[in-house]
Amino acid sequence: MKQLFVLVSVVIMNVFTSAAQINSDPGKEKFIAMFNGKNFSGWYSFLAKKGKNNDPDSVFRIENKLLHISGKEFGYLATEKSYSNFHMRFWFKWGTKKWPPRDADTTRRDNGILFYVPVNAKDEVWQKSVECQIQEGDVGDFWMVDSATIVFDGNRTIPKDYQRAQKKRDGEKPSGEWNLVEIISRNGSIIYKVNGIVVNEGSSPSINNGRIIIQSEGAEIFYRDVQIAEL
């Protein structure tokens, strides 16, 4: 009986220890794929000139389990689900094509991940949100859209249509190479990481729940291994 009691006690202690590790160790986050590699289940598309779920030119498409965005028209893919505390990670690389008004040789390729888009927001380019900038040379900038604000360097940003908070460090690889980007938003703290480097931080966003959007903004881009863990 004594041996049984000791065994049960050890098992219980191990269970609680494991639970504590899962709750405290970011490495134990349970990531799930945001795309199934076949279609856009769980997402919807919007194009500024064509509206919702009307994409005859396949601006957004799945190819060999990659998300391929041609950039030909301005618009986005949006999650049906809303998120609050989350860790999103993905790999991206630029394609070669650019489209008006970003087709000049000197114009940098531009895209972005918008999050905390209110569920009742009108579909338009662009909605109130916090953005993780994906632009050549600027990956990891904050952009606050449609008067959204954030505390950056100890001060709250000014409510504007578009307000930038520039990254502090650079982790970006040359155009055409794969880059790993992470967005970690937990209890009012937001961190952007690029290829393992913390490049930007902010806190206390004025919005803290909503959809996630992947833009199409005039440049060809590829994404792979788009994953999220709810925290």
Per residue in 94-126, pLDDT (tens digit) is 999 999 999 999 999 999 999 999 999 999 999
Q: Are residues 116 and 4 located together in one domain of the fold?
A: no
Q: Are residues 78 and 12 in the same domain?
A: no
Burial of 143: CB neighbours in 10 Å, binned 0-12, 13-18, 19+: buried
Question: Structural domain tally of the chain?
Answer: 2
- CA–CA dist 130, 207 (Å, integer): 8
**Amino acid code (one letter) for 114:** L
**In a shared domain, residues 129 and 197:** yes
For residue 218, the tally of other CB atoms under 10 A from its CB is 21
Residues 151 and 39 both lie in one domain: yes
pTM for the whole structure? 0.87
Residue 63 sits in the same domain as residue 139: yes
Same domain, yes or no: 41 and 138: yes
Question: Both 168 and 190 in a single domain?
Answer: yes
| Domain match, 125 and 26 both | no
Q: Name the pLDDT band for 27 (thresholds 50, 70, 90).
A: low
In the block, tokens 């249509």 appear at: 161
Nearest to 136 by CA among 163, 183, 186, 102: 102
The mean-pLDDT minimum among 5-14, 110-119, 141-150, 191-200 falls in 5-14
Show the domain range for 71: 32-230
The fraction of the chain above a pLDDT of 90, given in percent, is 88
Residues 20 and 108 in one domain: no
Q: Interior CA angle at 44 toward 46 and 98, to 5°?
A: 45
Q: Does 2 lie in the same domain as 69?
A: no
Question: Could you tell me if 50 and 134 lie in one domain?
Answer: yes
Mean pLDDT over all residues of the chain? 90
- 46: CATH: 2.60.120.560
Same domain, 89 and 101: yes
